[in-house]
Structure 1
Amino acid sequence: MVRRVTVTSSGRPTSDRRAVRRRQTIEEILGLAEEVMTEEGVNGLSLSEVARRLGVAPPSLYKYFPSLAAVYESLFLLGQQRHLAEMRTAMTGRSGLDALHHGLDASGRWSLENRALAQLLFWRPVPSFEPSPDGLAVSAEMVAVQRATLREAVAAGELGDAADSEEAIHLLSTLIVGVISQAMSNEPDLPWGEGRFSPVFPRLMALFAAAYPPERRAVG
């Protein structure tokens, strides 16, 4: 059976143009959804409001997303990918504690610049939403990156052996999410590095290092 492909005057198959338009519409829907979450809260997202801003009837969105949960899932995956990319960029060319510090600093800055997505990623503002394995895989990759820097710090003698552990990862998470939570709750309009809370981040990193001091090596 021969498949017939219609070609436009520009030489591009019609199917390709449709795929591009579909991708652009999906990106626009997700952008509007993030806008709604920023204004109304993550749990305030609704397909009807997104449709209104897009200028279409709500049923038209179902061609792109079968449910509100599907929109949340796409936003979760998109947010995880963007957040991880920011961390990796900040850590490039660095290792150990230096890489960890810059990576988490970038994480905090990204979170305050993308508050709605950060809440979806790191809190549970929508109790009924459960991320898919794809979204969680990116989250696990982020943890693996942090764990690798801890391993480097231990090998370099910057931290004790106990820092290469799940406990240390949990402590790191508590520290960074704690300062982000305080900043979001009490100073929502201030960027990272300003105000009362995010400027204490370097001291938190010092506290973390103090919790896992390098072992003293026997001499002689």
Structure 2
Amino acid sequence: MSGKPRLTYLNGRGRMESIRWLLAAAGVEFEEVYLETKEQYDKLIKDGFLLFQQVPLVEIDGMKMVQTRAIMSYIAGKYNLYGKDLKERALIDMYVEGISDLMQMILVFPFSPPDAKEKNLESIKERATNRYFPVFEKVLKQHGQDFLVGNKFSWADVQLIEAILAVEEKVPDVLSGFPQLQVFKTKMSNIPTIKKFLQPGSPRKPPPDAHYVETVLKVFKK
């Protein structure tokens, strides 16, 4: 095995996508193993790879890490994306947790029943424009800096640009009332490591389609 982190998940976004984003933003190359059958998943559990019988699984620095939050905390700390002290880390944690709440709605959206999709899309738009994006618009306006915490690129910035782009895929004009976030989006998208990740052919996954949903249901069926 090479020295690159190895990511085991499905060939789609899901809970692994934020991990891909964070590694890519840190300029870290990684390898991926894709689960396509329930048998592959069951074997990981049987072999003791999955502490809580769940993926994502990230093999890094000799560890087999599970639990998305723990994995991302480790990566952020390892690659200096986690603030300079406990106060900055607490701010980053708060922002990340908030963004994760919004991302959870986007994560489950592809699995909505057809008759609930329109209602769920409205919920995403409402939460983004009334609860989550106003927070970050205010933070950026008040301190007048390019980044959310300590005027230094951090995990929180990576999470936010991922969320902005994910919401825009569903609600293209969602940033129309947020000038600070529009500037933030442009600046983040031009950071070299992120710009590379946004190019075609990168490890970034496309929006979930029917095939991805079908594979998820097949791999994780009870």
TM-score, with length taken from structure 1:
0.29
Structure with the higher fraction of residues in strand conformation: 2
The structure whose Rg is larger is: 1
Structure with greater proportional helix content: 1
RCO higher in 1 or 2 (8 Å CA, sep ≥ 6)?
2
